[in-house]
Amino acid sequence: MADLAATASSVYRQALSVIESVEPRIAQATRQELADQRASLKLIASENYASLPVLMTMGTWLSDKYAEGTVGKRFYAGCRNIDTVEAVAAEHARELFGAEYAYAQPHSGIDANLVAYWAILAKNIESPTLERLGAKTVNDLSEADWEELRAEFGRQRVMGMSLDAGGHLTHGFRHNISGKMFQQHSYGTDPETGLIDYDALRATAREFKPLILVAGYSAYPRRVNFAKMREIADEVGATLFVDMAHFAGLVAGKVFTGEENPVGYADIVATTTHKSLRGPRGGLLLSTEEYAPFIDRGCPMVLGGPLGHVMAAKAVALAEARTPAFATYAQAVADNAQTLAEALAARGVTLVTGGTDNHIVLLDVSGFGVTGRQAETALLEAGIVTNRNSVPRDPNGAWYTSGVRIGTPALTSRGFGADEFVQVAGLIADVLAAAEPATTKAGTPSKANVLLPAGIAERTRAAAAELLDANPLYPGLEL
């Protein structure tokens, strides 16, 4: 590792020198970002630290190729090396997750979800319509046929977890394209426990009869039973689509197994490759073989040209995720989240669902007299990076919120264990207890601005610095 860090230091110093010769502000911002990340407690559940090999893989001339199409079937010449890159990334994904098919092209999680939606529409709506109209492809359709096909597409229904219950924007939220593509209906959580009520979900699905049932979350601190979701989907004739962008690392590391592993139950599974997978920013799709030809149309159906350098970095990250060390890491992520939740609860912090059994801890900060936005700001001032988040039936809405979402993947990557996370919980609780809403010009409590007593931010940063110095980020990397 020392040799790797020394080599990386030399490479990055030279690379930044080259960048600086063209645009010094970008070189400085890059150096400062590393300094900022090293100096803060990163608790955003959707962020992590990619390895140096993954980061270096993205900075190559693989970026310079156009490669629309799929492996061996490109619309541009000279793509043999991109074919290799994409094939290796897909191979690692299939082996890691035990999937029949993998598609490494999506640029992001949202892109992956859009490809999944359109693949489902193509398989379930377009193909039967073409057969009925006696057409082999969409190119054979008349304008009248096209109108009929568009009408069929526009009448379809999707059902996913509501945003305030922990779902994602792409699960049918009205202001997202998914909520405009489909007739949508959301399912929530039990008002008392905050947990998914599968019986209520089943009743809603029976009544709504969606074409697509979406499972997965971005702010639900519990595991999902995908066997039950499969039963519900089958009962109403829906395609089961799972968005595991947040917990893919726990699936890869075999923390989630059996009925808690969506692969094998879902028709299509989408994920990002960063977050708990600890790879580059990007998306990935897994599916059964029957959906493969429809997903392969992702470019140009939804996507632009594949990003060869990012697919290469995905391949490297997925190779890392197939090692025993990654499985150890994934288990530590879950164990640390449990420790963090218990320590916060012991300090009187209210937790949505009362705790966690994944990597997410969702705090309801309303008991401290502040909004989620104010809590986020106060914590950031004290060197603790989080993000505000809605809680179920949130009275403050999606902008100010009543909650803060935190997660353990990033600090676990730095080597934090149970003792450190107990200390982190104490720092969070101290800041929240000290925070007070600022007063608006009209003399009323603000929902946005917050006040901290003198010295609390400085003391918190000093305590955090001791933890961070003992668990350095990219140790040995010197710029």
Q: Which residues are catalytic?
A: 66, 68, 243, 272, 275, 281
In 3D, which of 112, 51, 55, 43 has the Cα closest to residue 312?
Answer: 55
Both tokens of 391, joined, read 């809680």
Nearest one of 271, 279, 359 to 318, comparing CA atoms: 279
Closest CA to 46 of 374, 425, 387, 377: 387
Which residues, 6 or more positions from 195, have their beta carbon under 8 angstroms from its beta carbon?
Answer: 189, 222, 353
Distance CA 117, CA 171 (A): 10
